[in-house]
Structure 1
Amino acid sequence: MPEPVVLVATMVAKPGQEELVEKTLTAAVPAVHAEPGCLRYALHRKAGTTGEFFMIEKWTSQEALGAHMKGAAMREVGVALAQALAGPPDVVFLDAVPAGDPDAGAV
């Protein structure tokens, strides 16, 4: 069985585009949650800011993540946010370091 894929995608809105970015990302969440292999797709904002967003994701496999990236929801997000972000999303892949309770100690 493949290991789950965990990543954090950071997106920064251009000044004045914060509301568009938030609305676009929140609108995509239900569709992404319904995609095969989605274990977690959780939008967060940096505390005290209005324009720094973090998507915490967990997928059953690299293949599931790849299908997500090519899917309709991400195409729509890409079109809607093409001019609204300060730069491309910064994506960081994470490897769990097992420690303590398996449920509480990993995403």
Structure 2
Amino acid sequence: MSSPVIVTAVFHPAPGAKERLIEAMGPGIAAVHAEPGCELYAIHDAEDGTITMIERWTSAEDLAAHAAGEAIALLNRDIDGLLASPVVVTRMSALPAGDAAKGVL
């Protein structure tokens, strides 16, 4: 069995476009939530002015299908022109520690 994959995607809104970016992400997020293997896909407002997506996928294969799928294409179309720079995507593997329920995402 493959291990879950954790991803962060950091979105840098164009000046004055933060609220429009958040709103534009809504339909794509809803579509991603319906994808196989999506365990977590949640946006967060970071103190530095960015929007950070925290994701958890059941497997690397599910993440690959997501990256090539229609939901991510929809998200990318909807946010076109609302970013100051490209999205920074980081893929991670869990390093469980401490309490089993609290030590992994």
**Same fold, TM exceeding 0.5?**
yes
- Aligned counterparts, 1:13-28, within 5 A: 13-28=13-28
What CA deviation, in whole Å up to 9, does each residue of 1:34-83 have, x standing for no partner?
A: 1100011011011374xx10000010111111111122221111112222
- Unaligned 5+ segments in structure 1 are none
Task: Quote the sequence identity (%).
Answer: 38
2:11 equivalent in structure 1: 11
2:82 maps to amino acid: A
Equivalent residue in structure 2 for 1:57, among 55, 58, 61? 55
1:32-71 superposed matches below 5 A: 32-47=32-47, 49=49, 52-71=50-69
Query: Is the CA contact (8 Å cut-off) linking 1:26 and 1:43 kept in structure 2?
Result: no
Considering only aligned residues, what root-mean-square deviation do their CA atoms show, in Å?
A: 1.4
Large movers: runs of 4+ above 4 Å: none
Normalised by the length of structure 1, the TM-score is 0.88
Unaligned runs of 5+ in 2: none
Select the structure that is richer in strand: 2
Aligned residues: 105
